[in-house]
Structures are given as C-alpha cells and as structure tokens.
Amino acid sequence: MPNSEPRSPLSEQEVAAIVVRAEAAGLASAEVRSTLVAAIEPAVRARLSEHPRPADQLSSDLHALNTLEPRWLAAWLRAAERQVPAADRAWWADVRRRVRPDGPSPATVVRPALVEIPAGRFSRGSLPDEFGHFPDEAPLHRVVITRAVLMSCTPITRGQYQALLGLHPGDGPADSPVTAVRWRDAARYCDALSRHEGLAPVYGGPDSAPDLDADGYRLPTDAEWEYACRAGTETRFWSGDRDDDARRVGEFGDGEGHPGPVGARPANLWGLHDLHGGVWEWCLDGLAAYGPEEPQVDPLGPMAGLERVVRGGSLRESPRMARSACRATRSVGRKDDDMGFRIVRLA
C-alpha cells in the first residue's frame, strides 16, 4: 500500500456533531458514543497517518465497526469517506466490503431489505471512448445527490408483489423478480407499501404529480439509480470493465427463460444486488438530455409524457445494455416480461 500525504481525520468537533444528530434522532447512547470514539476513530486516525496500524489490528477495529447499530454505522461511513485520500480509495473500497450492515430495515414478506445510499457526488454518463458508449450518455458530467435514500437491495420479487397486492403478473418462482409490470403498476405497489408501513404515499393517484418530499416509497430517479449502481466506481460496470465482469455479478442469457432468484450474485459496495442484467428496472422520471452545466444537483427528467427511463439491462440483452451509464426508455403502458423495479424512500 503506497503511503499518501497525511490528512486530518475526523475532528472531535465532527464526531460531536454526528453524536448530536444521532441523539436527536434517538439513535445514540453512551455505549455507542464510547464505541465510536474508542474503537472507530483510532482505526481511521491510524490509517490516515504516516504509520498505519497492522492489518490484524485494523481487522479488530472493523469488527468493532460491525457491532454498531446500522444507521449509526452509515452515518460514520458517510463522514469518514470524506477524509480518505485519493491514493487510498482501494483500501476504502475494501473497508466498505467488510463493513456492510444488514440494513436499517430487514426484508419483510412484502418488500426486500433496504440499504442506505448516502448523499454524495459522482460522474454520470460515459466518455465516447467507453466500449459500448451511446451518444445520449454524453457529456460525462458531475452530479450532486443531496439526500440519502433507503434502496431495496434487490428488485421486488413476485412473492412480495403478490403478498402486498394480491396479484401475480408474469411467470417464475416467488423469489425471482416480478416482471410484466407497467410503470403505473410499480407506482401502485409503492403507494400500497407506503400505506402498509404508515408512510405518506408519494404518488397518490394516476394523475397526481409525485411528492418527492413524502416519506413513502417510490421509484429511484434516473440519476439516483446510476449513482447507487456505481457506488463510487467509474468503470463500465460496478464490478469492472469487461463483459465477463458483468456476467460475474448479473444474469445474462440467450434471449430465453426467466430471471432466477434475486440476491444470488455478489452485491456492490453499498450492498445492492442484481444491478446488471436480470430485469430492466423502471425509474421515476423520463429521459432528459445531459447538459454542459456542472455540477447538476439532484437532476430530474421530465415527469410528463408517456415514457420513462429503464436501467440495468436484462437477461435478454447484451452486457453493453447493462453498463452503469446505459439508459433506455419504455412506454409507461408496457409490461414486458423482462421489466421489473426496485424501490427507494428518503433515509
């Protein structure tokens, strides 16, 4: 591991600010504060110093990290990530792989587990020399996502969809992604789930504009989907640049058959499975051309019209269509048997 220029780790004031926010949300305790300061902070301070501690000691500290309540851990990860020098990004990616909470909300019979996607910045789109590039992916530009969300770690399954709505579109086993759902069907599921969990529905009705400040479930925006898929990566797929990297983490076939069980393949650094291949995933908004302005803050495509963005490709497509930057559109009335969705809500 090459040495990097020492950086200031989280200050005591920053730690205190995290503690205050967590206490206000009812998440903190004296024991948690003690764990944060006594176990977590030394690990970060040591790694960002000129003399990082031995790997076995770091492993012990990572174990202490995993004992934290998930939302506390997510808050620490967001704050700590800002302190990591560029030269240590590979080390940080390894930390994220080894320190991943089960999620602030485990799976239920009607929805998958949720994982927190922190606010942050990323480069959206692709350069013209990326293999498989499409013109609508240019120009590559910086985007700021200002609000953290909880995202389902897999697409919604047939079993979950049926348990909530009493419907079973498409074919396949209960643990495979639900398919043959229109955009409005996905929105209906989101509102039904919000009411089921006592949250405010986002959609409200077929002719209502989505309320993006509501605390209920919705589809991810086009920008949120790519941001979550990349999880800090800038390669063609979150798993690498080769088509085989996509096949290692996603499901691709020969144009026949149905998707297999969700969550059976590796997750990205934020704990999301099945992002490449499998089923196309509906997004909240329609397609908008990328402009030259940077950074774009919480960009949102058109909500009027009859088309919406779909992401991730499917088992009937080549890996080219499943790249992190690739986006397509479908009519809101289509319900193809390789189209599904995953959900988000505000964290």
- Residue 143 CB partners (closer than 8 Å, separation 6+): 121, 122, 123, 124, 223, 227, 295, 296, 297, 299
Q: What pLDDT, on a 0 to 100 scale, did the predictor assign at position 168?
A: 84
CA atoms of 33 and 326, how far apart (whole Å): 43
Q: What pLDDT, on a 0 to 100 scale, did the predictor assign at position 102?
A: 43
Residues 65-80: pLDDT tens digits? 444 444 455 555 555 5
Segment 138-147 mean pLDDT: 94
Higher-confidence position of 161 and 64: 161
CA atoms of 127 and 138, how far apart (whole Å): 7
Interstrand relation of 344-346 and 149-152 (parallel, antiparallel or unpaired) = antiparallel
Q: Per-residue confidence at 269, pLDDT binned at 50, 70, 90?
A: confident
CA atoms of 224 and 178, how far apart (whole Å): 21
Peptide bond between residue 2 and the one before it cis (omega within 30 degrees of 0): no
pLDDT above 80 (res 324): yes
Q: What pLDDT, on a 0 to 100 scale, did the predictor assign at position 106?
A: 82
Q: Per-residue confidence at 104, pLDDT binned at 50, 70, 90?
A: low
Q: Per-residue confidence at 250, pLDDT binned at 50, 70, 90?
A: very high
Higher-confidence position of 169 and 59: 169
pLDDT above 60 (res 329): yes
pLDDT above 90 (res 60): no
pLDDT above 60 (res 62): no
**DSSP, residue by residue, 208-257:** SPP-TTSSS-BPPPHHHHHHHHHTT--SSBTTBSSHHHHHHHSB--SS-S
Segment 6-22 mean pLDDT: 47
Q: Which range among 94-98, 146-150, 209-213, 254-258 shows the weakest confidence by mean pLDDT?
A: 94-98
Q: What pLDDT, on a 0 to 100 scale, did the predictor assign at position 77?
A: 59
Residues 293-308: pLDDT tens digits? 888 999 999 999 999 9
pLDDT above 60 (res 315): yes
Q: What pLDDT, on a 0 to 100 scale, did the predictor assign at position 90?
A: 62
CATH, domain 114-346, list 3.40.50.970, 3.90.1580.10, 3.30.360.10, 3.30.465.10: 3.90.1580.10
Mean pLDDT of the chain: 80
Q: What pLDDT, on a 0 to 100 scale, did the predictor assign at position 291?
A: 87
Q: Are 210 and 275 in contact (CB under 8 A)?
A: no
Higher-confidence position of 56 and 227: 227
pLDDT above 50 (res 58): no
Segment 252-262 mean pLDDT: 80
**Percentage of the chain lying above the pLDDT 90 cut:** 57
Higher-confidence position of 185 and 35: 185
Tokens of 249: 């983490």
Q: Which range among 218-232, 252-266, 273-287 shows the weakest confidence by mean pLDDT?
A: 252-266
**Percentage of the chain lying above the pLDDT 70 cut:** 69
Q: Which residue ranges make up each domain of the chain?
A: 12-98, 114-346
Higher-confidence position of 76 and 131: 131
